[in-house]
């Protein structure tokens, strides 16, 4: 069987998609595409390739009903450059294969992440692991960035000084900060990539990893456009309710009190807002926030 070639993906191969101030994502290689997904799904009963319309319907059915193994037949390989603190979040997704640059073998380059002033924000009051939507005053943000830059320059000068004095690279690197840029090759199947994107494209994900997810989403869309369309429809555009929230929704539709309070009520209202955003306010007028 001939290798599946996707023209949109071919156009992206080895093109750097800039991310943050010094980072990038490159699609290095891919294996398969939408055609491979439907081939894998239909092999169990020996049916051949159908029409575009039938293939699209099958992919939507598979993703909607969480029949995930056919999506694992599609593989994407990325070359990415990111700050170490982003890499440490990224590597939590353990369903990929990666090779990272090593400070034991290589002299680490003088490349550190500095945020834009508008991304220097206060700590969130409602989320212990996130920043708020409010940025520091411009002058204060620029002072913070200048302080970060000064610290980075100082630490890197000490690092190169140790290298010049003959200190082993594996030890000299120990003081380098999390803002240092690293690089790796990262290979993952489409099913697990979509799971990564589901989490890291979310508005609650840290900005610095979310922009990498956006670049990788561009690559996934190019490799398997029908699968990505189904992902947007059934995952990113969907809202999942717990049993208690389903009960609250039923009560709302019946005109009764929802029976939720505190954080549970806040999360429920957030999901209702997401529904309105997904289907349009005009189409969801009957789904009003609980009194």
Q: Which residues are catalytic?
A: 200
How far is residue 119's CA from residue 78's CA, in Å, rounded to a whole number? 26
Beta bridge partners of 77: 29, 187
Tokens of 84: 């170490």
Residue whose C-alpha is closest to residue 189's, from 69, 273, 280: 69
Strands 131-135 and 181-189: unpaired
Reference 103, options 161, 168, 155, 21; nearest CA is: 168
Tell me the two tokens of residue 50. Answer: 């159908």
As a whole number of angstroms, the distance between CA 161 and CA 42 comes to 61
User: Is-contact 196 150, C-beta < 8 A?
Assistant: no
Q: How far is CA 42 from the centre of its chain?
A: 30
Ordered strands of the 181-189 beta sheet: 17-19, 23-31, 75-83, 181-189, 97-100
At 102, give phi and psi (nearest 5°): -115, 125
């Amino acid at each position: 069987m001939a290798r599946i070639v996707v023209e949109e993906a071919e156009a992206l191969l080895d093109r750097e998609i800039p991310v943050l101030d010094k980072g990038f994502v490159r699609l290095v290689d891919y294996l398969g595409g939408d055609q491979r997904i439907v081939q894998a799904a239909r092999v169990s009963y020996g049916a051949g390739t159908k029409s575009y319309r039938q293939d699209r319907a099958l992919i939507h059915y598979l993703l909607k009903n969480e029949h995930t193994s056919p999506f694992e037949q599609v593989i994407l390989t990325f070359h990415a450059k990111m700050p170490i603190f982003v890499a440490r979040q990224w590597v939590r997704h353990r369903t990929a294969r990666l090779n990272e640059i090593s400070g034991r073998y290589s002299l680490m380059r003088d490349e550190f992440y500095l945020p834009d002033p508008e991304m220097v924000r206060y700590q969130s009051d409602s989320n212990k692991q996130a920043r708020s939507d409010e940025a520091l005053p411009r002058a204060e943000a620029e002072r913070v960035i200048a302080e970060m830059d000064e610290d980075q320059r100082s630490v890197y000068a000490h690092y190169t000084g140790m290298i010049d004095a003959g200190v082993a690279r594996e030890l000299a690197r120990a003081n380098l900060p999390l803002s240092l840029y690293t690089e790796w090759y990262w290979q993952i199947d489409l099913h697990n990539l979509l799971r990564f994107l589901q989490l890291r494209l979310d508005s609650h994900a840290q900005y610095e990893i979310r922009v990498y997810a956006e670049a990788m989403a561009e690559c996934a869309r190019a490799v398997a456009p029908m699968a990505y369309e189904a992902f947007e429809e059934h995952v990113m555009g969907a809202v999942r309710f717990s049993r208690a929230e389903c009960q609250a929704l039923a009560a709302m539709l019946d005109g009764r009190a929802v029976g939720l309070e505190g954080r549970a009520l806040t999360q429920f209202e957030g999901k209702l807002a997401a529904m309105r955003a997904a289907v349009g306010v005009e189409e969801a007028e009957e789904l009003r926030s609980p009194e």
